[in-house]
Chain A
Amino acid sequence: MDIARVISKRSFLLGLLGLILVLLATLPLYAKGYTPILMTSLIMYAILSVSWTLFSGPTGYISLAPAAFFGVGIYAAAILGKSVPLPVFIVAGGLASFIVALLVGALTLRLKGIYFAIFTFGLVMLIMQLLVFWELHISGIRGRFVIVIDYNTIYYAMLIIFVVLMLTVYFIKRSKFGLALQSIGENEEAAAHTGINVTMVKVITFAISAFFMGAAGAAIATRWTYIDPYIAFNVNVSFLPVLMAIFGGLGQLYGPVIGAAIFAYLQEVLTTKFSELYMLIFGVVLVAAILYLPNGLVGLIPKLWKRSSGGQHAST
């Protein structure tokens, strides 16, 4: 029973993380064919759900905007892809989303949570409609071709975005800013009266989360070769990360990652074999998760741990 003490929890976790990272980094070398493509999608969803959680988790404001920022990133890749290298248009996609989020956030984060949710919900369709209008009447070109990049490069790009995201989230949580963010989620009014500029913290966090969603969109666009407003702005991309994050659990950093992994994989399996049913299954899982797993899978772990150790260890 002293094994827990012998291997200090911290170094064990770090070692595990390092191993996973190495495995992921060398993936294209030992897993050919479809696996890097699958993993790219998986990591992409992990980016979306962790970014979503970064903002919506602590503040409690449900954002339905991921699809909007994702789409902005896609369009950035389409527009810039032929003239600048991959890293540049990925960052550009992220920055464009960052700016849109700053605007949207500054306008709407002063409102009650429910208005914010509604607003972000419609944002996707609004941007899509504006782009349709633009392409129809101003540019005259419908849709765009995206530069094609090989799968392995895309995989690495996505992986790097993910690692940067996780580092960012980690450092935010440990910083003054992260403390302020957490206090806003605990009690926004008290936080405001303790000297925290609540609106600014919310807007900046929202924009940071949007940056990564945009970057992910820009990276994945290169796989689709052709995009138009309907392809780029798909409401599902807003719903799925939320589902994944809630299912995985918002309490821990890795919760949304697990949720994303499970669902991205499930989506692959279901769209090939039961393509008519996957929406249904997702819907059922979401409802079940909200009813029975309010803290997500991650919330189950302390409970399981307590039960298996006979309740001798106090929960940390």
Chain B
Amino acid sequence: MRPIEKIQQIPDVAAKVGEFTLPEVLAISASREVRNDDIVFAGTGLPMIGILTAQCLHAPSSVLIYEAGIMDGKSMHIPGSVSDARACYMSSTLGGLLDTFGFYLQRGLVTLGFLGGASIDQYGGVNVTCIGDYYTPENRLTGSGGNADIGTQSKRVVFIMLQEKRRFVEKNEYTTTPGWYGYEWPSGKWTRKKEIYKNTRFENYGPAAVISNMGVYRFDDNGIMYLETYHPGVTTEKIKDNCSFKLNVSKVKGETPHPTYKQLFALREYVDPERLFLPDPPDYPPDVKKIINSFS
């Protein structure tokens, strides 16, 4: 039986609390953001895992671009890097950085950018450069890599990150990747992205969602972040306590949908069966286990 036929036999029913782990909630939430016609430019780790899961489920035709030069790789095994030969397998074309950052990204082909960040502001701007003063930081981080490029030139941008009070901030100490607001240079004026990118194709491109370990967020017409759903076991109060700007919680729809058994099966058995990234998952319930056992 082909893997896809197995996946299709697993019930698409919400799993119960205790039957999944937090990284799985994040990966599945990420996968929900991917549409079947998306051309996705994704970073290493959770973003990549979310998209690979989507490709096993509702978005098999979504195209994945990996930074080092890979167009539409079809991985059998989870890549450990955006340059991994596993990511190159059966790709449409292989090139280099000019292909991905030039021909695809700056040319405007990318519909979804998928990134991480160390801290985020209320407009979806991200810091991956430094905590504290730029020249004498408490913590120097990796710096942009492709984050600033992908985060400003993809039609929709989704960030996946850890939520703590010091990571959800009014204003980033260093804005690596501007969200709906950024700096106009050389004046240094803090202004709307629309103004900064006026008359370019990127005027209306920007953050569409943030997925944290506590909830899922979206942006209103003014480019300000609001809470859409909270993850299982998390309250809006806890979320507000872990956010240092005044978070709009008036549009909350409820709990983030639990991952379904089908989604968990695809993620565990076909996206990261080597457990490069996922912690050891809890057991499937008996009825699902029975179906899985019937495969072998």
Co-complex (A, B): no
Give B contacts to A, CB under 8 Å.
Answer: none
Give A contacts to B, CB under 8 Å.
Answer: none
